[in-house]
Structure 1
Amino acid sequence: MKDVNQIQTFYFVGIGGIGMSALARYFNMQGKAVFGYDKTPTDLTDELVAEGIQVNFIDEISEIQKEVISKNNVLVVYTPAIPKGNKILNYFFSEEFSIVKRAQLLGEVSKNTLCLAVAGTHGKTTTSAILGHLLAECNMPVTAFLGGIAENYNSNFIYNGKQITVVEADEFDRSFLQLQPNIACITSMDADHLDIYGDASELENAFRTFARLVEKEEHVFIKQNLPLDGMTVAVDETADYQAQNVKIENGAYIFDLKTPDLTIENLVFHLPGHHNLTNAIMALGMAILAGSPTDRLPKALASFKGVKRRFSYKIKTETLVLIDDYAHHPTEIEALFQAVDEMYPNDHKQIVFQPHLFSRTRDFAEGFARSLSKFDEVVLLDIYPAREEPIEGITSKWLLNQIQAKNKRVVFKSALPEVLLKSKCRVKLLVGAGDIGAEVNSLTKKLKNETQS
């Protein structure tokens, strides 16, 4: 690939994607000409347009801007999520434009920096956001490309200099093997993306290959008990980096961080759940290794507000708690239940879950049934297909029949306001990686109006 610093024009096919838009913002900030296509307008594409990026939503060659058609010093960027029939992307291929996948471009941007890569089947976005925030608050020269919207910045992009990069190392399509990390962590390694890997052992092999990309073993942080070599991380267990003396005060964790070289006492962290606390330890360890001043880390961690759709409180009153979360794998739903049950042990809990992908629903049905059965009420939406065609017999009704909860049902999205309002559960959760996220704001508004009237 040509040196990206020498390229003047970038065209992103799928620019509204969370990872694509962060890169688009980066190059726009560098003064490059940035254009893109996406299927539908969203809040994120609205923000890109407001920042001066031209975005079109019609998949026709005639919609491509003339500055791009000229092919003069243009790089086209796409993701594997783009359908094979996309006219714009196929045009670029037929005309032999310079074309790369998003992961390749991220690897190029980060390769001449101190690259801090966050990998794992769960926890990447939260850990990356914590890490980027810690470094920025410590005034380190960091650029962070995030897979979610960090609440502190209302953005998936943090810019405080170019010498350090924080990137999400995505295992999908083996994208993370395009990176050249100096420091890395692996938050989890549960079976997922079996449509890509075939079985769990192949996924684990890919993670081992990723870990070996880091030159020094002691620069790889791994969650305790993963079958990998590196510095172990745990909560209230013996590990190289561990949270000790953990307690909850006013809905926040208070803990001491023990590392091989020092102990930092009375850290405050506001995100619920031991999985999030583990993410925070990962981020703290990586920040320390990257040279962050340790005396500034406590204030930086305490000021972290979270990531949108990662245990995001939409309503929090004496009578009603509404939480929005991106969880779409059984392990994530288990972690979500642990977090919400720790914070609200005496309250009944209702989960509205939109399964994501027919293949994932089929492959992990037993795990989904087990984790969802822990809630007092289970409401399923139809499976969100994303990039897949339906699989015969794999439906939300089929999954529902395997769930042990007494109060369970499948509903259309249009019925959600009534279902949420009629439930006597104080704690309600809207969960999934599909288009359920687009319903959250309107549902929040309706619930607020009804409870206040």
Structure 2
Amino acid sequence: MPEKKHFHFVGVCGTAMGSVAVAMKRKGFTVTGSDANVYPPMSDFLRNEGIELSEGYRAENIPVGADEIVIGNAISRGNEEAEAALERRLLYVSLPEVMKEYFLRGRRNYVVSGTHGKTTTSAILAWLFLNAGRNPGWMIGGLPKNLGRGANFPDSEFNVLEGDEYDTAFFDKRSKFLHYLPEVAVVNNIEFDHADIYDNLDEIKLTFKRLLNVVPRNGRAVVNGDDANCLEISENAPCPVTRVGLGGNCDLQITNVKYETDRSSFDLDGVPYSIRMPGEFNVRNAAMAAVAAKLAGLSVEEIRDGLESFDGIARRQEVRGEVRGVKVVDDFAHHPTAIRLAIQALKQQYPTGKLWVIFEPRSNTTKRKVFQGELAECLAGADVAILPDLPDPEKVPLEDRLDPAVVAKSVEGGRGRHIATVEEIVEAVAAEVVEGDVIAVLSNGGFGGIHGKLLDSLKG
């Protein structure tokens, strides 16, 4: 069978797709690609590497001699290029399959999974490797400030992968992380999420069990020992398991936790560490990364130095600006537990002044009423909680749709408000905030540029 030489990426401008396309080009393959949204910086990055791009999806974009069509996770049936690949009986594969074949086989792959914290934990772990001179590959959903890009695949012994339980492609409904050949699987926590593809928590627990089923006997699962679901899925795992957490039942216990306004410190198995990020969830993220790094052979000194020099991730409690003593903070939180923990950390970091939380229910799950009660409960930690109208409400059937007005009305103490549009929110908040207040914007999207509009409005 002739060696494959030409790969065509459908949806090439996604962070992971683009990074893998470039890595394939650097391996000597011919690479082309297409996307509906071709714009900098990704388009410049791809073209500078010699990758020919087509804007828009058309059957004729697929070169006649292409050996393999890489179809991105965002591509659905009805996409012209996906349909052409099917009709022409071309060899089509998912991105995780390409990664597995060309970058992960034979390597030491560290897969970080869980409902919350996987982006931060995988970014910390990748930085620990990089800072210690191990030159890792990585694929991370956010933008780690220390790493400069979300994905990179050098020729390295180590790979750090954010392991998403979301499905792989329209033709492969297995979780992406099942393709990643883990030597070490980190499981931060397990809760119900992704209501568009999972019907219940049991289905999610099953896919995490399947992840541990592919960890080899000479590898290890590192799980949250304080999370009942993590304990359940790892109980009869065929690989060794290390439980990490605050509880006395854990194999490695986090103790002596201290929080300051701009950092947290803790002991892990009696060894002191510190990280320049506030909040209990960041202590847990750092501890999980530290355990994984030690399994890879990093010394305590290397781990301690890496944690101390980690700069965080864009859109994770990131201060976007301050005007008249009022801070505007950006955060990605969108699951009720993540919202509660983000509010908790912000209260620890900014103990004086009023905390305004503006939450956009944007994810496929939070647009559904499955979390209607939980959202009201977690937002009660804010001094004022504001919800806008749902973006693209028509994508969710009316009977399943979240009602932001009901959530706002249910927030304890009358602290919830439903304000329909970004412009109305900006006007209302800017009129009431005072020096020392913090405005936290929680969204997994752009939210209509609300951060800049708030700062501009505060300038008057």
d(CA) in 1 for partners of 2:154 and 2:428?
Answer: 45
Q: CA RMSD in A?
A: 2.7
Measured against aligned partners, the alpha-carbon deviations of 1:24-45 in whole angstroms (never above 9, x if no partner) come to: 3432443443333333345553
Match of 1:343?
A: 349
Measured against aligned partners, the alpha-carbon deviations of 1:282-328 in whole angstroms (never above 9, x if no partner) come to: 11111110112332221111111111112222125781222111111
Match of 1:403?
A: 411
- 1:39/1:377 CA distance change after superposition, 3 Å: farther
d(CA) in 2 for partners of 1:336 and 1:126?
Answer: 13
Could you tell me whether the CA contact under 8 Å between 1:145 and 1:156 is conserved in 2?
Answer: yes
Measured against aligned partners, the alpha-carbon deviations of 1:386-416 in whole angstroms (never above 9, x if no partner) come to: 9x82311524334434333434123223444
Match of 2:221?
A: 220
Does residue 8 (structure 1) correspond to residue 5 (structure 2)? The answer is: yes
Q: Give structure 2 stretches of 5+ with no counterpart.
A: 168-174, 236-240
Match of 2:32?
A: 35
TM-score where L is the length of structure 2: 0.86
Equivalent residue in structure 1 for 2:85, among 92, 104, 107: 92
Instruction: Note the 1:214-253 alignment, pairs <5 A.
Output: 214-216=215-217, 219-225=220-226, 226=230, 227=232, 228-229=234-235, 230-235=241-246, 239-249=250-260, 251-253=262-264
Match of 1:433?
A: 444
d(CA) in 2 for partners of 1:178 and 1:439?
Answer: 36
Match of 1:279?
A: 285
Deviation at 1:359, TM superposition (A): 4.8
Instruction: Note the 1:368-387 alignment, pairs <5 A.
Output: 368-385=375-392
Deviation at 1:59, TM superposition (A): 2.4
- 1:104/1:160 CA distance change after superposition, 3 Å: closer
Does residue 167 (structure 1) correspond to residue 161 (structure 2)? The answer is: yes
Counterpart of 1:411 in structure 2: which amino acid? A
Instruction: Note the 1:37-436 alignment, pairs <5 A.
Output: 37-41=34-38, 44-49=41-46, 51-52=48-49, 53-62=51-60, 64=61, 68-79=62-73, 81-108=74-101, 109-159=103-153, 161-173=155-167, 174-216=175-217, 219-225=220-226, 226=230, 227=232, 228-229=234-235, 230-235=241-246, 239-249=250-260, 251-258=262-269, 263-265=270-272, 267-315=273-321, 319-357=325-363, 359-360=365-366, 361-385=368-392, 389-393=395-399, 394=401, 395-404=403-412, 405-424=414-433, 426-436=437-447
Could you tell me whether the CA contact under 8 Å between 1:218 and 1:231 is conserved in 2?
Answer: no
- 1:117/1:255 CA distance change after superposition, 3 Å: same
Could you tell me whether the CA contact under 8 Å between 1:138 and 1:296 is conserved in 2?
Answer: yes
Pairs aligned (count)? 435
d(CA) in 1 for partners of 2:111 and 2:348?
Answer: 30
Could you tell me whether the CA contact under 8 Å between 1:358 and 1:383 is conserved in 2?
Answer: no
d(CA) in 2 for partners of 1:369 and 1:44?
Answer: 38
Q: Give structure 1 stretches of 5+ with no counterpart.
A: none
- 1:253/1:116 CA distance change after superposition, 3 Å: same
TM-score where L is the length of structure 1: 0.87
Could you tell me whether the CA contact under 8 Å between 2:328 and 2:455 is conserved in 1?
Answer: no
Deviation at 1:129, TM superposition (A): 0.7
Deviation at 1:119, TM superposition (A): 1.0
- 1:47/1:375 CA distance change after superposition, 3 Å: farther
d(CA) in 1 for partners of 2:44 and 2:276?
Answer: 28
Measured against aligned partners, the alpha-carbon deviations of 1:240-259 in whole angstroms (never above 9, x if no partner) come to: 2333222234511122322x
d(CA) in 1 for partners of 2:37 and 2:260?
Answer: 43
Equivalent residue of 2:243, what SS? strand
- 1:427/1:250 CA distance change after superposition, 3 Å: closer
- 1:191/1:245 CA distance change after superposition, 3 Å: same
Deviation at 1:421, TM superposition (A): 2.1
d(CA) in 1 for partners of 2:429 and 2:38?
Answer: 28
Runs ≥4 residues deviating over 6 A: none
